[in-house]
Each structure stands twice: as structure tokens, then as C-alpha cells.
Structure 1
Amino acid sequence: FFCNHQCQSMEERTECLRRKIKYYFMNPCEKYHARGRIPWKLMLQIIKIAIVTMQLVLFGLSNQMVVTFKEENLLTFKHLFLKDYVDGSMEAYAVYRQADVYDHIDYIITQYGLLHNNTVGNHEYEKNGSSYNPLLLCQNFYRNGSIYPGSETFEIDAHVDTGKRFNLFFSFNSQSETCSIIMKSVTFAVMAINLQTVRYRELPDCYDFTVIITFNNQAHSGRMKVDLEMDVEINECKDWKVTGACKFTKLGIYLTVMFDCVILITCITSFVLCTRSVVKGVLLMFYSRHCRTHSGRNVPWSDKLEFVSGWYILMIVSDTLTIIGSILKIEIESKVFTSYDVCSIFLGTGTMFVWIGVIRYMGYFKKYNILIVTLRAAFPNVIRFICCAGIIYISYCFCGWIVIGPYHEKFRTLNTVSECLFSLINGDDMFPTFKDMQQKSNLVWIFSRVYLYTFVSLFIYMILSLFITIITDTYDTVKVQAAISAPFAALIINALLGSLNQNSHSDTKVCPLFLISFRLAAAGERSPNIRAAEISLCV
């Protein structure tokens, strides 16, 4: 099964399987010295790291221009259409009087009509044929509502109706009852072109901004919050002409697409080679059948999994993500796909895994693999510790959200509670968290002090210290084992290989793999030669 047709006898098959197992656990340098095999995968990974990183940088610069253009347009619309808007204000933008509501709506309508005269950008109204699309107003309200707070009585139909939409020249009754109004919204579309990409030899994109200004009165507290949001759609411009740098722009696009295609070919090749190595390892895993047949022993799964390299799995995942991201990037450049965020997630994660995979080759040097060895040795204990600490952390999150949430901005949602508590563990933002607690309820204020003091004391002084201790103890253990076991590495290998030779000429088959496991601290784990020798003893 594992050997060619020339290995006919059992002894020849056994020796052939031994050689395959030993060769499988060699590193690229050892394989080159053993058979003169050029380390193609290593060379391919080095090339892939360089070109994938270059691709990520180029896409990152392009994505940064897109995000900056969106954010600056959002800020521009707030200044153009929100009356008396101030940048960086900590208070929510809101109105408190009926007259202010209609005054702000009238301001939006006026500014929309004067868009060409006010904007310093290239904004334009959206057209439907030969006519401009109108500005739209919509309001949500209870169907029937009669509220009399003075007599503590009310009558309301909870069904929500959506009012008609009006064009730019609509009219409304400013004296109407506002108690039934839930929300008013003003919607309009604005178009623009991102011209800054021309400087980077890229064709400009055309943007369709759908601006939605909402007046939120759901709380009916007398404070109507005003918010401006926008939806963005990126399209290929229908008719364009770039002079001066036109040739360079077209050439740049073609070269970029060709570069992406080279990355696709490289990643596909890497994917095939790594998958082939994983398949070989899985096939060699069936040496357990040989052990069970000739020694009567079963191989534990922990030893079977030695043939499945996690690094190859990581490379396969990174290649898959990079291939998907590169395809999306090509579609973005051809204006077929416009979601930069999705593409950036695939490319960013793929590049991260590619660079993490470099650590595998650093592990071939005894003095550079201390991080890998420490993380691998401490990982089981760390996971168990995090599970227990996570339960305590979640309990604090729920308690803080329920009790402190109504009185503290950082505890309003479970997400913000988790972010706040995680910052406290790292010692960040500690004083503002204590200070911002509103003293509206003395009981809750006292509870918040007990809550925060116990959380900080428990997680910083106890849990975090124990977590660091686990890593430190593992690191110290690895160093001690390295100092003690390293001089005996050659002796152990020779002893194992000697036993292998004796077993090959003996009628009795033994499997010391299940009786003894040599862990060399020089590598922090069994070295490839020892693993191969141990497993070969079974066959």
C-alpha cells in the first residue's frame, strides 16, 4: 500500500514504510540533504508572502481612499443639512420644541434646493430620466391617540401607520398633534465622483448616496433625537475620459489585474502542494494497521495525529481566503463587485495566516522556536483557565448591564459592557468609568462601587496574575528541560535507531512508542528524527 511494486517481501515493505515515515518528518533542509529534493514549498511560501503582502498594501491604500471619501461625505452632509451642527459634540443632536422640528425640516429642504450653490464638492441631484428625483418626507405615527397626562388618562391605537410621501413642495400642518408621532424622516439621493483615485493611476468610481435624516420620537420624552445616515452604492461611471495620464491609468489597471492573477496561480499551487502533503500524512497514518497486525497493539490517536500537520492546514486556509479575496479584488477593479469590506476581510485574514505560517520555519532553529513550544505546551491549561474565568466575566457583564446600564453610558448594551470591563482588566479608562456613574440613585451608586471594586480586584490582582503565572511556569519548564535534555538528544536517537535495527532482524515485534515518549526540550517536543524512529519501531 505504501511502497512500490518492487517491495515484495514483508521485510522489504517494513523497511520501505520506515523510510517513508522518517522522510515525512524531515524538514526541508534534511530532505534536500537526504535526496537532493529542492524545497519547492518553502520557496513558494517565501514568494507568496512577498506578493500577497504587496497585494494587501495596494488594496489597503485603495480601500483607505474609499472609506475616507465616504466618511468625509457623511460629515459634509451633516454640516449641509443639519442646522447648527458642531463637530465632535458629546451631546446627541436633538430638538425639543415643535417649532424647532419644522424649522429643521424647512432648513433641510432649503439646503437641498441650494445644493449646487453651497457644496464645494462635485455633488449632484439624482436624475430619473430628464427630471431630478424629489426630496421625500415620511412619518410614522399611531393610528389614533389621545393622551391627557393631567388627568392620567390616555387612549391609543398601537397600530403604526406610515404617512404618505411628499415631493419637495409639500405642505403640512405645524399645529397637528405630536403625541402620536413616532418618527419623521427626510430622504434624498445625491451623486458624486471620487476623483482622488486618478492620482494613484486608478479610474474614479461614481457614488450614489442615499441620505436619510430621521427625527426619532419613540421615547415621547420631549427630546426628539436627530440623526443623519447614508447608504452608499459604488458604480462604474458610464462615460469617462482621462487625459494626460490615460495611458498610464489603463496600463496600471491591466498590470494590477495581471498581478492578481499571478497571486491566484501562486495560491492555487500552494493549496495543491499543501493538500498533497496532508493527504500523504493521512495515508501514512495507516501505519497503525501494520502495528496492529505485527505487534498486536493499537496506536493512540495522539500519535496518529502526528501525521496531520497543523501548519499545512493553516496554509490551506490562508490560500483559500487569499484566493477568494483576490477574486473579489479583481471583480472590484472591474466594477462588478463593490463591497470593499468583504474583500478586505478575506485578504487581511489570509495575509495574517500567511505570516503566522512563517513561524513554522522559524521552529527549525532551536533558539527561535521558544514561542511555539511555550504556546503549544501552555495551550491546554490556558483554555481550561479561560473557560472558568469566562464564566465569571459573563456573570459580571449581565449584572452590570441590568443594574448599572440605565445610569451609565458604558453599560447600556451587553457589547459596551464587555468592552468596558475588558478595558478595566487592562487598566484602561478606569477613573472615567468610576466618575461617569450618575448619582441618580444612591442605592445603585453604592452598588456600582462594590461592583467595580470587586471586579477590578478579582480580575487584575487574582485572575490575570494567575493567567500570567501559567505562561511563565510553562516557559520556565521549557527552558529547564532544554538545559537538561539537550545533551542527551543524540544518545536517545542512537538508542532508538539501534533498537530499530535489532527489531528488524528479530522475529519479535515490539512497539515501545506506547511505553516511552522522549520529549526533547531542545525542540520543546519530540524532534522529527525521534518521532520517526519511535514510530518506525512499531513497524
Structure 2
Amino acid sequence: MASTRKMAAGNDRRPNVVEDRARGSNSLRGNTWSEVSDSADEHEHSPFADRAANVARDGVLDQPHYDAIVYAEDKMRRRLRFFFMNPVEKWQARRRVPYKFIVQVIKIILVTVQLCLFAHNNYMHVNYTWDNRIAFSHLFLMGWDATQEVPAYPPTTAPLALYKQDDFYSTLDYALRGYYNLSNAIGSYSYTEEDNSIGRVDLCLYQYKEGTIFGFNESYVFNNEIEKNCIQINHTFQGDSQIETKKLLIDKDIVINFSALVKADLQFAVKTVNLKAAGPITPPDCYQFDVKILLDNSDFDGQMLLSLDAEPNRLQCKGDTRYITDNRIDSALRTLLNLFVIFICAVSLGLCSRAIYRAQLLKFETINFFKKTYGKALSLEGRLEFLNMWYIMIIINDMLIMLGSAIKEQIERKYFGSDHWNICSIFLGTGNLLVWFGVLRYLGFFKTYNVVILTLKKAAPKVARFLVCAILIYAGFTFCGWLTLGPYHLKFRSLATTSECLFALINGDELFATFSITSFKSPLLWWYSRIYLYTFISLYIYVVLSLFISIIMDAYDTIKLYYRDGFPKNDLQAFIAVCTDEASSGVFRTESGDTNFSELFGKLCCCRKRPYGSFSGSTNSGATAKPDENCGAICI
């Protein structure tokens, strides 16, 4: 201890330890702890230096053991400093190729090209099926009008419905005549049989087992068990006028009790070929449409709703031979693109999972270092620094894109009999959304673009707490509006439409229309609706939105102050901040956390390194630690 104090007193000129480390020298072995702490304080005071300095000053550790702790601290700082560098700094530090960044760039290009191609095909598919559904409505639905093709707000036409029993049978007759005279349609529709003969037509009736009403004396006989009765209608008619569904049902001993009829549907199928899909190397597409005409009487309100649905199924085409080669080329190119996307996403998934795993290993190593060297646990903020949420988001979008690409390949090979276009579009669309969100990670390396990310991160806790209160108030208005205004107002007829209406009112959409549509016979409900709407609009537009904006602006002002005065640091960041070596200084090329050839060669030619975790304040009497002059390791 006396020799240590004598050395400290005799050394009037204290070298700059930071500069010595940047030059890669071993001057740490000749300096006392006071010299190290004085050098570190020129940049920022390290709370971890006080405990080790007191231990060295009190003589608990001798000079070799003290040098070992300094060496371990310096090595850990450089490892952590290199770990939290961005790809550009890592390239400057060790000439390490930013392969994860390159993989992400390639993935963005491939995924975007894949999405554009699928979006074009998906649009053509959906638009084609919708147009065919409209054509089927004109061919098979009695009373269908062109004004019902485009949904309008507010609705200008009532829903298509039946009100008479004769209209029920006439509707079935009209649909059968349209199907039996399919050759008269402008569209190239055919029957499903191989010889183009008229296919099968099924009529299914869903009725209560008992449902007799005697309205004159307010009595009824009712059994809520629903019975399903399906019959196959064969084409045995010679002319359009001879098609009579009512007579056909009577011949089959089927009597329809409309007071017990829940619904009825007429089902048949047609085939067609889409020539519009044909491109330079793309052949036409073949479809089978399963048409269902639904007559819904489930409300028993005297109005039977009439609707048509057509489920498309893609088929293998047997077209002209000149398209066979082109079809193979197109299929091979699309398959190759899908395989490339799956491969690059798998590589990205593996690299990000590996990075998260290594980060957790380094986290446990850092926790162990803090515990043994300083006798304290690493804070929660410091531990969360090792959890990179960007990597987790990339892993999620990789899995979504891989699933979407697999479904897309099955769709293009026509392995799926049902319609999987919507599922595939959801996977690919959400995955591509997260892929482009991931670009923000690399923009965050620049100060100008990082302001948005840091502002959202700073405001997120306050915004979450604020939204909890705002959503509770919003839920109360939603349930109240649905209950009181639902039976009388178009926008409040369901809980979902009520919520959508209120959200539109918050953003100033159709305020006057919401007021003008309101029409009540009761003056009480009319005045209540006005008070309800005025209160909600005033509260959310003038109060809630203003408070929400103020929270975001407060976080933005805080971030600007941090840029001017410095960001607050947790214990891990304060520990790393002592290392002020530049990335391009060259000192990080010898401090590698990975096992490489140079490090393995150093372990073989020199001596065995003593782990820094063994320096916990007490020394082993059977061994003496000293730095090796050749390889800079602590040898025993």
C-alpha cells in the first residue's frame, strides 16, 4: 500500500489513458486507479470507478490485481461499445460487412416486386369476379336494377326484397329460365358437364318444424327446430313458359308454409374463361362459379330479402397449344421469384434470431460482470438495451412473407380449390408494411430523421395512458348512441357502424349529414340526439384531440432539449460512455467478442486468459495475476 501511494505521489505527470488506449498501448499497467478515473472524468464521471478506486486506495488489491480489473473493464466497454454501433460504424471499426443490412435491402426489393405482381393479379381477380357477380344478378335475379350495383350513401334504393308468395315462385322460375337459357347471355358461360349439358340445380328449403300463426285470436303453434329439405330440379321443360316451380314442388309433395319458412336457396354452377388475364406470357384463366340465390325470411317481418353470391374457383385450363410454352415460362419465373423471397426471408429470419440470441448472451455476461466487479445489479433500463425490437419486427414480417409466398405459390399452381386470395393478400400486405417500417431503423442512425422515432418512443407511455381514459369515454358514447339512436338513425343501427360514425365525427367528417338524417316523431328523442351529438363533438374535437396533440408536442420539445443538453443515460450507457474511442481509430479491430482466427491464434501462442468475472475483490493466495508482455492477457 505504501509503495502504491509512493508511486502515485512521485508521478507528477499523469498520462492520458484514453489517448493511450486509442494508440493501442499498454500504459494501463503502469497507472494507478486515480490516473484512470481522472482521465475518464474529463469526458464523463463514471460511478463505477469510485468503488474500485476506494478498494485500490485502501490496499485491498495490489497493483497486478488492480491492473487486471482495469483491463477487464476496458475490454468489456469496448465490446459493448462495438455491439451498439450502427452498421457504418462497425464497418469503420473492423471492416465488417453489414450483411444484415444488405439482406434487408435485397429483401425490400424482392418483396416489393412480388407484392406489385400479386397486387395486379389480385385486382384483376377480384374485379373479374365482382363483374361476373353483377352479370349473374342481371341474368338470374328478378327485379334487379342497375342502381343497386354501386353502393351509395345515403342509400337511394331499398334492398331487393319479395313481399308476395307469387313473387317467391316467380323469382325461382326467373332464375331457372336464366340458367336454362345460358347461351343467350353475352358472357361466355357454359355448364359444368363435359358435354356442356345442363348441370345440376338444387333447391334447399329451411323451415321450422312447426310454425302456424293464428293472428285473429293471437295464438300460434311453434317448434323452433329447423328442418332442411333439398330437392334436385331436373331440366324436363321444353319452353320458358312451362317452367313452374310451384307445380314441381307439388308433384314432389312439398308444401311451403311461409309462416314457418326461414330461408331458401337455389344453387347451381357455371364455367367460363377469362381472356383479359392473358398477357405477353400469361395465358387466360379458367373459372367455375358456384352461384347461390338466397331468399332470406329470418326476420319474419313480411319482407323476404333477395341476394346472389358467386364463389369463384380457378381451374386448370386446356387451351391453345401456343400458350403451353409461354405458360411454363411464366410459371417458372413466378416460382423462382417466390423461392427467392422465401430464401431471403429465411436468411433474414436466421440472422435476426442469431443477433437476438447473441444479444441475450452478452446481456447475461454484462449482468455477471456488474455483479462481480461492482457488486450491483444491472438496471432494468440497461437490460432492455439488449432487446432490439427492430429485430423482433423483422422476424414477424419474415414469417408473414414466407407464409404469404407459400400460399401465393399454391394459388398460382392452382392447388387450392377455394378462394385463398384474401388470406394471401393479408399476409403479404402486412409483411410488406412491416418491411418498409423497418427502413426507419436505418434512417434512425441520422439525427434529422431520428427525431420522429425518438418522439414516438418518448410519447408512447403517456399516449397509452391517455388513450385508456379516452377509450373509456368513447365506449360510453358508443353504447349510448347505439341504444338510443340505433332504431331511428342509419349510422347507429349496429355497434360497429356507431363506432365508425363517432370516429368520423371526431375527424370532422359529415357532421351536417349526421344531424340532417336524424328524424324522429318523438320531440324528446330529437332533442336528446342534438344534446348527445353536440356534447360528443365538443368534447373530443376541442378537448381530447387538443390534449393528444399537446402530449406529442411535449415529447417533441423534450427530445429537442435532449439533443441540445444531452440524453439521460442509464447505468449501462454511463458505463459505455467512458470509452470515447472513435470507430475508425483501429482499437476495435483487436477487441472482438467473436471467436475468430486471430483470437484463437493468440490463445494458442500465448497463455490462458483469466476471466474478468473472477476479480470480485478477493484474491487467490495460490496464484499471482500479472499481465503478459507479449499478448496483453492476464496470465496465471
Describe the SS at the equivalent of 2:249: coil
1:498/1:459 CA distance change after superposition, 3 Å: closer
Q: Alpha-carbon deviation of 1:175?
A: 9.5
- Preserved CA contact (<8 Å) 1:208 1:233: yes
Q: Alpha-carbon deviation of 1:386?
A: 0.8
Identity %: 37
Q: Does 1:496 align with 2:574?
A: no
Q: Which residue of 2 aligns with 1:332?
A: 411
Q: Alpha-carbon deviation of 1:289?
A: 1.2
Task: Decide which moves more: 336-345 or 380-389.
Answer: 336-345
Q: Which residue of 2 aligns with 1:99?
A: 166
Matches within 5 A, 1:87-486: 87-89=146-148, 90-117=157-184, 119-127=185-193, 132-168=198-234, 170=245, 171-172=248-249, 177-199=257-279, 201-237=281-317, 239-243=318-322, 246-286=324-364, 287-337=366-416, 338-485=419-566
Describe the SS at the equivalent of 1:154: strand
Q: Deviations over 1:144-186 (max 9, x none)?
A: 3332223323233333222341414551359965322222221
1:65/1:438 CA distance change after superposition, 3 Å: same
Q: Deviations over 1:280-323 (max 9, x none)?
A: 11111011111111211111222101011111111111112112
Q: Deviations over 1:258-277 (max 9, x none)?
A: 12212222111111111121
Q: Alpha-carbon deviation of 1:375?
A: 0.4
Q: CA RMSD in A?
A: 2.8
Amino acid at match of 2:165: Q
Partner of residue 140 from structure 2, selected from 54, 57, 81: 81
Amino acid at match of 1:45: Q
Which structure's CA Rg is the greater one?
2
How far apart, CA to CA, are the structure 2 residues paired with 1:413 and 1:403?
11
Q: Alpha-carbon deviation of 1:11?
A: 5.4
Q: Deviations over 1:240-272 (max 9, x none)?
A: 3352x5433321221121122122221111111
Describe the SS at the equivalent of 1:165: strand
How far apart, CA to CA, are the structure 2 residues paired with 1:121 and 1:36?
65
Describe the SS at the equivalent of 2:295: strand
- Give the number of aligned pairs: 489
How far apart, CA to CA, are the structure 2 residues paired with 1:283 and 1:177?
73
1:283/1:193 CA distance change after superposition, 3 Å: same
When normalised by structure 2's length, the TM-score is: 0.72
How far apart, CA to CA, are the structure 2 residues paired with 1:100 and 1:29?
75
Q: Deviations over 1:190-242 (max 9, x none)?
A: 222222222263343332222111222222222221111222322333x3335
Describe the SS at the equivalent of 1:126: coil
1:250/1:161 CA distance change after superposition, 3 Å: same
Q: Alpha-carbon deviation of 1:80?
A: 0.8
Describe the SS at the equivalent of 2:474: helix
How far apart, CA to CA, are the structure 2 residues paired with 1:121 and 1:302?
66
Describe the SS at the equivalent of 1:172: helix
How far apart, CA to CA, are the structure 2 residues paired with 1:110 and 1:136?
14
Q: Larger RCO: Structure 1 or Structure 2 (Cα < 8 Å, ≥ 6 residues apart)?
A: 2
Describe the SS at the equivalent of 2:205: strand
Describe the SS at the equivalent of 2:90: helix
User: Where do 5+ consecutive residues of structure 2 fail to align?
Assistant: 1-66, 149-156, 237-244, 568-573, 582-611, 618-636
1:271/1:75 CA distance change after superposition, 3 Å: same
How far apart, CA to CA, are the structure 1 residues paired with 2:202 and 2:118?
37
How far apart, CA to CA, are the structure 1 residues paired with 2:104 and 2:224?
63
Describe the SS at the equivalent of 2:277: helix
Q: Which residue of 2 aligns with 1:514?
A: none
Amino acid at match of 1:248: D
- Preserved CA contact (<8 Å) 1:274 1:312: yes
Amino acid at match of 1:462: V
- Preserved CA contact (<8 Å) 1:142 1:181: yes
Task: Decide which moves more: 33-42 or 441-450.
Answer: 441-450
Q: Alpha-carbon deviation of 1:493?
A: 10
Describe the SS at the equivalent of 1:214: strand
- Preserved CA contact (<8 Å) 1:407 1:440: no
How far apart, CA to CA, are the structure 2 residues paired with 1:175 and 1:140?
12
How far apart, CA to CA, are the structure 2 residues paired with 1:143 and 1:285?
69
Describe the SS at the equivalent of 2:159: coil
How far apart, CA to CA, are the structure 2 residues paired with 1:252 and 1:130?
30
1:498/1:140 CA distance change after superposition, 3 Å: closer
Amino acid at match of 2:315: N
When normalised by structure 1's length, the TM-score is: 0.84
Q: Alpha-carbon deviation of 1:440?
A: 4.2
Describe the SS at the equivalent of 2:520: coil
Q: Alpha-carbon deviation of 1:12?
A: 4.8
How far apart, CA to CA, are the structure 2 residues paired with 1:167 and 1:454?
59
